[in-house]
Amino acid sequence: MSVIFEARIKNRGENPHDWFIELTDTGINKKEVCNDLEEFSIKIEELGSSYNGQIDEVKWSQDDNVTQEQYSEINAGMRKYQEELKK
């Protein structure tokens, strides 16, 4: 069985920081709301612990009303997070 999570970026306002990520464990259809990238990393680790940390894929998507600034902020934050993991 593949472990697949879905991460959907959602808009809650016009400010570049007014976003959240809805994280879903598709195996058990459990949803978590992550208000920032730090919370996202904690929640994905918690959900992944049920699978001994083995996550096969994270499918990213975004709502249509997510602004370019919001997307860029999340994308830059995730790149930084991934670089830190490689160290």
pLDDT, position 53: 87
Expressed as residue numbers, the domain containing 18 is 4-86
Let me know: does 26 contact 48? Beta carbons within 8 Å. no
Q: How far apart are CA 64 and CA 66, in angstroms?
A: 6
Averaged pLDDT of the chain: 92
Q: How many domains does the chain have?
A: 1
CATH assignment of the domain containing 65: 3.30.420
pLDDT, position 9: 97
The one-digit pLDDT tens for each residue of the chain (87 residues) are 789 999 999 999 878 789 999 999 999 999 999 999 999 999 999 999 999 989 999 999 999 999 999 999 999 998 988 887 777
Q: What DSSP element (H or E) covers 18?
A: none
Count CB atoms within 10 A of the CB of residue 57.
Answer: 11
Let me know: does 21 contact 10? Beta carbons within 8 Å. yes
Q: What is the pLDDT of residues 31-53, one digit of tens each?
A: 999 999 999 999 999 999 999 98
